[in-house]
Structure 1
Amino acid sequence: MQVTETLNDGLKRGYEITVTAAELDAKVDEKLAEAQPEIEMKGFRKGKVPMALLKKQFGQRLLGEAMQEAVDEAMSEHFEKTGDRPALQPAVEMVDGENWKEGDDVKVNMTYEALPEIEEPDLSTIKLERMVVKPDEAAVTEALESLAENAQDFENRDEGAKAEDGDQVVVDFVGKVDGEPFEGGAAEDYPLVLGSGSFIPGFEEQLVGVKAGDELAVEVTFPEDYGAENLKGKPAVFDCTVKEVKAPKAAEIDDELAKKYGAEDLDALKAQISERLEAEYAGAARAVLKRGLLDKLDEVVKFDLPPSLVEAEAKQIAHQLWHEENPEVQDHNHGEVEPTDEHNRLAERRVRLGLLLAEIGRKAEVEVTDAEMTQAIMNQARQYPGQERQFFEFIQQNQEMQQQLRAPIFEDKVVDHVLEQADVAEKEVSKDDLQKAIEAMDEE
C-alpha cells in the first residue's frame, strides 16, 4: 500500500492511495479464510470446501468489500502517522474507476482540510468581571404585585356601569347559523373576560359598553380555519343577555395569596421570589460574562481556518437570518441565500471560537456525561407532551440530533473550565446595569 502526497496548500491536503492487486487478493483470501469454517456446499462437509472453489464462487462478491476495507485502513494509518485531523469527512474518489478491472491496482484520491494547530492561550492572563445583582425590596414587591394581578378576582361594578376592556361580563347566549341554533353554541352564566381573545374574533369587542340587563345580538363570522367543518366561514348571530358586569380586582398581597402559590405564608413566598430573582440575575450575568470571555479569546487567538467550515457556517447564518426576516416562509423551497461579508465575518468568529473551545475541551478531557445527555433529552421531550417516549426513541436513533443536544452542554462545560483558570472579579451592580449589558449584547 502506497500513499503519495499530491496537495499541501495551507490546510488543504491531497493524497493518492495505491492498493496493489496482490494486496487486494490477499485481503479477499483473508476474508474467505475467516468464513471457510462456516460454509457448506454440496459435495463437501461444512468447513471443508476448498479455497480455490470458494474464491471462484465468492471472490468477486468480496472484492468490493475488500477494496473498501483496504482504503479505510490506509486512511486510518495515514491519519495516525501524520496526526492530521480532517475538518470534515475526507473526499475519496477512485482514479479511472470506469476502466478498472479485476487484477488492476486500485488508486484513489483523498482530499480534505486539516484542522489547524491551535496554541492554547495562557488563560490566567484573561481578566473579566462577573456582574452580581442582589434582589432588592422593590424587585420583590414588583414580582408580588405581578402575582397578585395574575391571581385577580372580579367584583360587581356599580349598577348601570358600562363594561370596559378587561372587565368580566357574565352572559347567557344562544348562537344561530341561518336562523338555526348549532351544537355547542349556547351557554348560561358564562364568565367572559373582554379582551381575552377566547371567543371568535369580533365577539368580545361588541360587548364593550354593555350594562347588566342588556340584551343584544352579536354578529360575527366564523374563521375559515375554524375547527368545526360545518361552521367554517359561516356568518352567525349570538343572542346575548348580560347578567353581570364585573371589574378586575387584584388579589391582596397577604398570606392567602402566598398559599395560592404553594407557599406557607407571605414571608415564605417573598423568600422564594428572592431566590428565583437571584437565579435569574445569575443566569443573565453568566451570559454577559460568557460573551465577554468569547470576545477576549477572539482577540488573543489567531490561526488559519478551514475554508469549508467557514463557508458552511456562513451559509447557515445567512439562511437562518433570511428566515427570521421572512417568517411567513415556513419551508426551505426558496432560492439560495448568498452570505454577505458580515455573515462571513461572523462565521469566521464562530468557527475560530468553536475550534478553540473544542481543543481546550479535548486537552482538558471535558466530557458530556450520560446523565447530562438524559437531562437534556428530558428537557426537550417536555415540549411534546404525551409523546415523550417516541421523542426519546427518535433521539436514540439520530446521531445528528444527539450532537445538537451535546454541543451546547460541552461548550458550557468548557467555558466553566476556562473561567476557573481566568482572573474573574465580582462586581455588584444594579438590575438596570445588568439589563443594559444584556441589551448591549443583543444589539451586537
Structure 2
Amino acid sequence: MEVKVNSPKPWLRELEVELEPELLKAEVARTLDEYLPRAELPGFRKGHVPRAVFERRMGDSLEQSAMQELVERTAAEVLARQGLRPAAEPEVPELELRPDKSIRFKIVIEVIPEFELGEYKGIAVDRREPSGFDEEFERRLRQLQERCATYRSVPGPAVPGQFVVADWRMFDGDKEVGKPRTNLMLELGDEQNFKEVNEGLAGVTAGTERSVEVGFPDDYADKELAGRRLALRFEVREVKEKQVPPVDEDLALALGFDSLDELRKEMNEGILADRARLIASDMKNQLFEQVLKLHEFEPPDSWVKYNYERLCREFEEPKDDETKARVTAIAARRARFDIVAARIAEAEGIGVSDEEVEDAVRALAEGMKRPVEELASVKDSQVLRSRLLNDKVMEFLLENAHIRGTLLGADGRPVSSGETPSEPAGSAREKIT
C-alpha cells in the first residue's frame, strides 16, 4: 500500500492511496466466504451453491462489494495512522479499479488545524460598570406605575396624550378593504400612529365619526396594504384619559409588596443583579477577543458553514453580498473560538456530564413550555453538548482571568480581587449589525 499526503490548506488533507491487486483478491475471497453459507441460486439449496458457480455468476457484484469494504476499512486505517484530528466526515471523491485489479482512491478530509495553545490563563480584562443606575431605577418604577394605571372616560374633545376608543374600517373608494376592527384604543399623538391619524382624530368626542386618508408605505408589513392610499373611517365610542398612580404605599400593595420600602429594595437588588450579569457578559466578550488574538489560524470550511447557518437561524439570512461577507467573517471567528475552546477543555479536563445535558434540556423545555420528551433529539444532539462545553470553558477563562477594577457580585456588593461575579451571563456572542 502506498499513501501520498497533500495539504492544500492548513485544515484540509488529500490522501492518495494505492492498493496492490493481492489485497482485492484476498478481500473477494473473504467476502465469498461470508456470502456462501447463506447463498441462494435457482437449482441449489440455500447454503449449498458450489463456490465456483457462485463466483462465476456473482463475480462482478462480489468484486464491487469487496472493493467497497476494502476501501472503507483502508481509509479508516490510513487516517488513524496519520494521527489526524478530523473536523468532518471524510469523503472518497475518486475511486479507480485498474485492469490489473489494483485500486487507486483519494481521501479528502477536513482536519483541525495544528496550533499551539497560547497563555489562556491570566488574560487581562476590564470590569466596566454600566452608568445610569438612577435613570434605570426611575425607568423601571415608571413601568410599574404604568402597569397599575387606570383609564376614565372624559367628555372630550380629545387632545394628545388621551386615548380614543373607536371602531374602524378601511375603504379604497367605495370598496371595503380587510376586516373591520372594534374597540381599538389609540393614544392620540403616539409616534407609532400614522401622522394623518393623529391629526385626523384630534378634537373628536364620543359618538362622532371621522374619515382619515392614510398612505401606507411601500415597505409596509402587510403586503396587501403596502403602497396603497386608503380611507380609515372611525366611529368614536369613548375618549379616555390615563391616570397613573403616584409612588406610594398603595402602589406597593397593588403590586403585591408589604411596603414601599420593600418594593424599592427589590427593585434595587434586581438592577444590581442585572448589572452584575452585564459586567460579566462584557468581560466574557473581552476574553473572546483576547483568545482569538492569541490563536490565529484558518478554521475548516465545514465549521464556518455550521456557524454561518446558526447565525442565519438566530438572526436573518443576509440578502446582499456585503452582509453575507460580514456574517461569514463572524462565523469564522466563532468557529475558531469553538476549536480553541475544545483544546482548552481537553487540556484542563473540562467536560459535560449527561446530568448537565439533562438539566439544560429541562431548562429549555420550561422556557419553551413544552414537555421534556419532545426535546429528545436536542438531548442527543452534539450541538447542545458543544454549547455547554463552550460555556464551561468561558467560565473557566473568567475564573482565571486577571480582572482590572472593582468587582461586584450578583447582589451588587464588591468581591475580592481575583474572584468573579456570581451568576455571570451566557457565553460571549457577536451580533450582526
Normalised by the length of structure 1, the TM-score is: 0.67
Calculate percent identity across the aligned residue pairs.
21
What is the distance in 2 between the residues matched to 1:392 and 1:85? 30
Paired residues of 2:209 and 2:234 also in contact (CA < 8 A): yes
8 Å CA contact 1:131–1:428 kept in 2: the answer is no
Residue aligned with 1:7, SS: strand
How far apart are residue 411 of structure 1 and its match?
1.7
Gaps of 5+ in 1: 432-440
Query: Compared with structure 1, are the counterparts of its residues 142 and 177 closer, same or farther at alpha carbon in structure 2 (3 Å cutoff)?
Result: closer
Aligned with 2:352 (options 367, 381, 390): 367
Q: What stretches of structure 2 of length at least 5 have no aligned partner?
A: 413-429
**Equivalent-residue separation in structure 2 for 1:198 and 1:351 (angstroms):** 41
Assess, with a 3 A threshold, how the Cα gap between structure 1 residues 226 and 306 changes in structure 2: closer, same or farther. closer
Q: Deviations over 1:53-81 (max 9, x none)?
A: 44344443343343233223222222322
Tell me if structure 2 keeps the 8 A contact 1:14–1:111. yes
- Residues 1:69 and 2:69 aligned together: yes
Cα distance in 2 for partners of 1:73, 1:213 equals 84
Question: Residue in 1 aligned with 2:397?
Answer: 418
Amino acid at match of 2:142: E
Q: More displaced, 201-210 or 407-416?
A: 201-210
Q: Structure 2: how far apart are the matches of 1:76 and 1:163? A: 78
1:12-54 deviation digits (Å, cap 9, x = unpaired): 6443212333323333443443444444444444433344444
Partner of 1:108: 105
Alignment of 1:306-385 (within 5 A): 306=298, 309=301, 339=325, 350-363=334-347, 364-367=349-352, 369=354, 370-371=357-358, 374-375=361-362, 378=365
CA distance in 1, matches of 2:252, 2:375: 37
- The CA deviation at 1:217 is 3.1
Provide the secondary structure at the position in 2 that maps to 1:238: strand
Instruction: Show the 5 A alignment for 1:213-224.
Output: 213=206, 215-220=208-213
Residue identity in the other structure for 2:112: L
Residue aligned with 1:78, SS: helix
**Alpha carbons of structure 1 residues 62 and 250: separation in structure 2 relative to 1, 3 Å:** farther
Matched letter for residue 343 of structure 2? E
Aligned mates of 1:43, 1:49 — CA distance in 2: 9
Once the 2 structures are TM-superposed, how far is the Cα of residue 112 of structure 1 from its aligned partner?
Answer: 4.5
Equivalent-residue separation in structure 2 for 1:125 and 1:237 (angstroms): 64
Give the structure 1 partner of residue 418 of structure 2. none
Bigger Cα displacement from structure 2, 137-146 vs 219-228: 219-228
- How far the C-alpha of 1:412 sits from its partner, in A, is 1.6
Secondary structure at the counterpart of residue 47 of structure 2:
coil
Deviating more after overlay: 279-288 vs 266-275: 266-275
**Residues 268-291 of structure 1: per-residue CA shift (max 9 Å, x gap):** 544543444234223321221112
CA distance change for structure 1 residues 266 and 120 in 2, over 3 Å: closer, same or farther? same
Distance in 2 (alpha carbons) for counterparts of 1:351 and 1:133: 30
The residue type paired with residue 25 of structure 1 is K
Check the 8 A contact 1:366/1:414 in 2, yes or no: no
Q: CA deviation at 1:218?
A: 1.1
2:205 paired residue among 212, 220, 231: 212
Whole-Å separation in 2 of the counterparts to 1:49 and 1:138:
89
Change (3 A) 1:192 1:307: closer
Could you give the per-residue CA deviations for residues 321-348 of structure 1, whole angstroms, max 9, x where no partner exists?
xxx9xx8xx786x7798959x986x777
How has the CA–CA distance of structure 1 residues 118 and 32 changed in structure 2, closer, same or farther, with 3 Å as cutoff? same
Aligned equivalent of 1:427: 406
Equivalent position SS for 2:339 = helix
Equivalent of residue 119 in structure 1, options 116, 120, 127: 116
Secondary structure of 1:367's aligned partner: coil
Equivalent residues of 2:207, 2:238 under 8 A apart: no
| Equivalent residue number for residue 424 of structure 2 | none
Which of 278, 300, 305 aligns to 1:284? It is 278
**SS of equivalent residue, structure 2 residue 406:** strand
Matched with 1:297 is 291
Q: Aligned-pair distance for 1:118? A: 3.3
For residues 219-277 of structure 1, give each alpha carbon's deviation from its aligned partner in whole angstroms, at most 9, with x where no partner exists.
447979998999x969556363x454333222333465456656566555445434442
Shift of 1:215: 2.5
Distance (whole Å) between structure 2 residues aligned to residue 182 and residue 310 of structure 1: 49
Q: Give the distance between the partners of 1:40 and 1:77, measured in 2 at CA.
A: 33
Instruction: Please state whether the residue corresponding to 2:104 is helix, strand or coil.
Output: strand
| Partner secondary structure for residue 55 of structure 2 | helix
Distance 2:111 2:23 in 1: 28
